[in-house]
Structure 1
């Protein structure tokens, strides 16, 4: 009886070593070397009221950037940030201008885009 248990144990151990380490068959992952990059974009559409932008630079380890957006209350928000794997994400937020609120409320005023025919 003991020999049958030993044989079954050896068969089960052999099967366990024969199974793939990842049962789902995903390819092994790897960590690519850090790659420096930078980008900048901005949008200023007076007709639609859109005014925002973003710039970012990375040396492969640390990311530094800034983005701005025109808020609905009339202020301009600027966020300057730095991020890395040691300190995490650190942001400094600034507001330019003073918030403006209407004295009367009503339905929003909207305009059809130019060239729009219905």
Structure 2
């Protein structure tokens, strides 16, 4: 298997964070709070942080937190528009995330102003 680039890993982390936010079982999202993206961050915040390289140092561990949460709690599906959707790709599409980036490139430093 080809090793993922950091840009690809940033995109994976973004996708997994979105899935955790859509999770039908709130334990899924709660499981990620200790080592994942902070609670209360908006999509804009998360993308800005990813583009700034904030999660790069521990990105593999952070992605694994989301994968473990999915493994333990993903069986409950994803809550989108008052429906529970079991397929993650369908859930993302129905939530308006049908065309997620495959790579997220670094566009600024960690401390650059928005």
The TM-score, its normalising length taken from structure 1, stands at 0.21
More helix by share: 2
Bigger relative contact order, structure 1 or 2 (CA pairs below 8 A, ≥6 apart): 2
More strand by share: 1
Please tell me whether Structure 1 or Structure 2 has the larger radius of gyration of its CA atoms.
Answer: 1
